[in-house]
Amino acid sequence: MRFLTIVCVLFAACELCAGDPSDRELTAQMVGAWRSPRHDYVYLADGTWWMGKPQPSGPVPQVTHGKWWIKDHQLCETVYVEGAGLQSNGCEMITRLTKHEIEYGGYRMKRIKLTEVDKY
């Protein structure tokens, strides 16, 4: 009887975990353009993010940008600070990520088309 109980508990735990997307799946879903109440952001597949349209040309890009990755279901970011390089912007737990919206660490953004970036 004890064996059967242990098997049932393990099976239930596996079922709960099976519904969670992997960090790799979350990363694939995160790529694209997003609109927050204040700004538009673009998360590129190369692991960079930009506030507004990406502008990588020139010695120093003129828009806020950095690196991003997902680890343990958390969105982690760095931000480029002129004169200091990349600085940690921390990690926030992703509580919801769908094709249309993301919620993480108290923030919420809606997915937009790349052509809609910076057009309010």
Q: How far is CA 111 from CA 3, 49, 83, 99, in A?
A: 47, 14, 32, 7
Question: Does 21-116 carry CATH code 2.40.128.370?
Answer: yes
3-state helix vs strand vs coil in the chain, percent to 5: 25, 40, 35
Q: Which of 70, 57, 79 is nearest to 26 (CA)?
A: 70
What pLDDT is recorded for position 106? 93
For the cut 80, the answer to whether the pLDDT of residue 104 exceeds it is yes
For the cut 50, the answer to whether the pLDDT of residue 19 exceeds it is yes
pTM over 0.85: no
pLDDT, tens digit (0-9, with 9 covering 90-100), for 65-76: 999 999 999 999
For the cut 50, the answer to whether the pLDDT of residue 6 exceeds it is no
Domain ranges, ordered by start, for the chain: 21-116
pLDDT, tens digit (0-9, with 9 covering 90-100), for 84-103: 889 999 999 999 999 999 99
